[in-house]
Amino acid sequence: MKKKVQEAIYEYHLHADFPDKMKFEVQSLSDLIQEHQEDMAKAHIHSFYQVIWFKSGNGKHFVDFNEYDVSENTIFFIAKNQVHAFDHNPDYEGFVIHFSEDFLVQKENDVDFFLKCSMFNNPYQIPSCCVGSGNEYKLDEYIVQMKTELKEHDKYGQEELLRLYLKAFLIQVQRRKYELEQLNKGLAPFIVDEKRTQLIHFVNLIEENYTKGLPASQYAEMLFVSLRTLSNLTLQLLNKKPSEMIHERIVLEAKRLLLHSELNVNQIADKIGFEDSSYFIRYFKKYTGQSPTSFRKSFQ
């Protein structure tokens, strides 16, 4: 991995110096911590996806503005451009899988598979899962297969085989996640049907377009549905209006930049699509109850 400073938020790129190298890697968590602990403890983002499997160790992991417990066999799912940070525990054991969307998505049915991986595509759920003691042996097998295959250079079908191992790993974790949701009374399992797939498409469109100031009606057009249909969908599944989801994503990015960058308020307003910084200040205060400056100071 290589890091690049992006407005004072460290951004990591996979094999940046080797653009033709396969965008997939499996690394020992303890080795990564030993080599990069200080950098890993700073808030940073990636231009790729990460699966972080804490096989042993206890502590905290920080994703955006939330703190999550780490315990034995906890797996975190970090989407690209998502701010996260490790704590300073040097004794974690486990593995980290890095992969780009292009690596996993090669065919149309891969797109469907990736969309149905609610681990990465559902910003309204906890980005982690505890696989539990006794359930990890299958995942261990896939890790061993991945690491073995990565040592085989230029073998026929290597990338395709690694892609299959990765998909199998994600499927096993997703199954475990479903089981836990079903056991947890009051929390409906995130079973991906046609409606939820459409919701995930909407979330992805917000991610791609939130700096453009598009109204909810335009997102509905991109999804080839009416605004009423989109509203019914988000209200039914999340109890939120489409416009609320758009506002939440804009405010999240503003918070990220206020907390993790040295940009001033005018620069942040411009970066997330506000031509008028005074309007941005009013907008931010409307949805957070604080001015951007007050929010930043509250974390200093």
We find that the CATH architecture of domain 194-298 is: Orthogonal Bundle (1.10)
Please report the pLDDT score of residue 195 as a whole number.
81
- Please report, for residues 52, 79, 159, 181, 193, the alpha-carbon distance to residue 199 in angstroms, rounded to integers and kept in the order given: 26, 17, 30, 19, 10
pLDDT at 188 over 80: no
Q: What angle do CA 150, 110, 98 make, to 5 degrees?
A: 35
CA–CA distance, 11 with 9 (Å, rounded to integer): 6
The whole-model pTM stands at 0.81
Please report the pLDDT score of residue 190 as a whole number.
52
**2-183 maps to which CATH number?**
2.60.120.280
Each domain of the chain, given as residue ranges in start order, spans 2-183, 194-298
Lowest mean pLDDT segment, chosen from 74-88, 120-134, 238-252: 120-134
Please report the pLDDT score of residue 58 as a whole number.
94
pLDDT tens, position by position, 259-282: 888 899 999 999 999 999 999 999
Instruction: State the chain's maximal CA–CA distance in angstroms.
Output: 58
| Nearest residue to 277 via CA among 288, 264, 286 | 264
294, two tokens: 């007050």
Please report the pLDDT score of residue 148 as a whole number.
95
pLDDT at 219 over 70: yes
Cβ-count burial 226-257 (b if 16+ within 10 Å, e if not): ebeebbebbeeebeeebeebbbbbbbbbbbbb
138, two tokens: 């299958």
pLDDT at 27 over 50: yes
pLDDT tens, position by position, 99-120: 998 898 877 666 667 666 667 7
- Cα–chain center distance at 230: 23
Q: Residue 90 carries which DSSP code?
A: S
| Nearest residue to 64 via CA among 142, 14, 123 | 123
- Please report, for residues 8, 142, 286, the alpha-carbon distance to residue 174 in angstroms, rounded to integers and kept in the order given: 34, 15, 37
Pairing of strands 59-63, 66-70: antiparallel
Q: Which residue type is seen at 261?
A: S
Please report the pLDDT score of residue 122 as a whole number.
66
Please report the pLDDT score of residue 176 as a whole number.
85
Banded pLDDT at 4 (limits 50, 70, 90): very low
Please report the pLDDT score of residue 118 as a whole number.
63
Please report the pLDDT score of residue 185 as a whole number.
56
The pLDDT of 187-206, averaged and rounded, is: 74
Please report the pLDDT score of residue 298 as a whole number.
87
Look at 200 and 240; give whichever has higher pLDDT.
240
